[in-house]
Structure 1
Amino acid sequence: MSDFIVGLTGGIGSGKSTVSDLFVAAGAALVDTDAIAHELTGPGGAAMPLLLAAFGPSVADASGALDRNAMRQLIFSDTTARKQLEDILHPLIRQISSERCAAANAPYVILAVPLLVESNSYRERCQRIVVVDCPESLQVHRVMSRNGLSEAEVTAIMAAQATRVERLRVADDVVHNDADLINLQQQVSRLHAKYLRLSAEIAKANC
């Protein structure tokens, strides 16, 4: 069990997954709330009966999983739908992520939360918050290339998230992901050493 939790966040296309993987390679445990959300909304996922009851069968695909495109369109066309979705998913995600953080066997845990700033509840759970940052133009380019979305679709998603300034305002540490992988590895290595030291201090204080 680890008493030191680092909340990791960043806008869409910032490179959160790459940075998370680098922390894991260095020896951290990872609890990814986006992965938990996919588990909950996959075929037979615990959230699917609640989502179907709230939004109807049109939000499920042929396998019984959440149809993310249909849900995305609904959210952007109905201002109440986003809150309904969050009210269903967020408590489940919070419970599972807390259990997995408590069970982690590592010096510290990276708790990856794409909407950490927007949730307003993760600050109390994290000893540090690290933000993966890059220029917004680079975010747009990466998501268009990765997901095949139009520029308008990407900017609409970004508009629904916290701004770059808002994320940086809550950051204890920042990983700048606008260069090459070596540069990224060097930044993560420095932060890993820092988190090992801080987690050891907390563990010693709790003895």
Structure 2
Amino acid sequence: MAKVIGITGGIGSGKSLVCKIFSILGISIYEADTRAKWLVAHNIPLKNSIIQLLGENAYTASGDYNREWVASQVFNNVDLLLQLNALIHPAVRQDARTWIDDHQQYSFVLYEAALMKAAGDGNAFDKVIVVDAPKALRIKRVKARDGRTEAAIEDIIARQISESERLKIADFVINNDEKEPLLDQVLALYQKLKATS
């Protein structure tokens, strides 16, 4: 039976790069944010619930999820955002359960998400990996990658959970600080997870 290892990290931490390395090593990865985007576009019951909550403007005339419009509606309305998340998160959890059931032949799989609780805290995770990097380095990476302003990046970081809170849930920490070789850390963790799965 496959162990489920959660992997998380703040914006610019290098979580996606770490996942890419694990993927090259043959590890299957459930990308919660990517699947959530797919589900709001293709899961008919979820689409209907979103339209019921937000109205017809939640989707374009061609049926695509109107992401920018939805964001504008929930950005300063915490209650509405919570209601929207209460529709999307259960759909993602159900999708993830199906995906995990379909990957039982592996010794372990990764579940990648920006938001995460400690292993066993109301989730299916056996362990949690946190990808960590200094804030200044994260800002520099996101500026180079996305062309966002420093203020915009600071705003995103402020809305994410703090690094200290994230580290509290970590069973394993990968330091992507450009001092410790990243590949060595991922390979060592891969071997450890393989040995204990």
Q: Specify if TM > 0.5.
A: yes
Moved >6 Å (runs of 4+): none
Aligned residue in 2 for 1:94? 93
Which structure 1 residue ranges, 5 or more long, are not aligned?
A: 200-207
User: What is the rounded CA distance, in whole Å, between the counterparts of 1:115 and 1:145 in structure 2?
Assistant: 24
Q: Is the alpha carbon distance of 1:62 and 1:183 closer, same or farther for their aligned partners in structure 2, counting shifts above 3 Å? A: farther
User: How high is the TM-score relative to the length of structure 1?
Assistant: 0.83
Query: Cα RMSD between the aligned structures?
Result: 2.4
Structure 2: give runs of 5+ residues left out of the alignment: none
* Secondary structure, counterpart of 1:116 in structure 2: coil
Which structure carries more helix by proportion?
Answer: 1
Q: Which amino acid aligns with 1:16?
A: K
1:184 maps to which residue?
182
Number of equivalenced pairs: 195
Distance 2:30 2:155 in 1: 27
1:107 maps to what in 2?
107
| 1:7-156 to 2 correspondences below 5 Å | 7-42=6-41, 44-46=42-44, 47-61=46-60, 63-104=62-103, 105-117=105-117, 124-156=123-155
Q: 8 Å contact 1:27–1:106 — kept in the other structure?
A: no
SS in 1 for 2:111: strand
Q: Letter of the 1:99 partner, please give it.
A: T
Instruction: Give me the identity figure in percent.
Output: 30
- Give the structure 2 partner of residue 167 of structure 1: 166
**How far 1:17 moved relative to its partner?**
1.4
What one-letter code is carried by the residue in structure 2 that aligns with 1:110? Answer: L
What TM-score, normalized by structure 2, do the two folds share? Answer: 0.87
Contact 1:13 1:143 in 2 (8 A): yes
* Cα shift readout 1:53-88 (whole Å, capped 9, x = no counterpart): 211233334643323333333332111122012101
Alignment partner of 1:158 is 2:157: yes
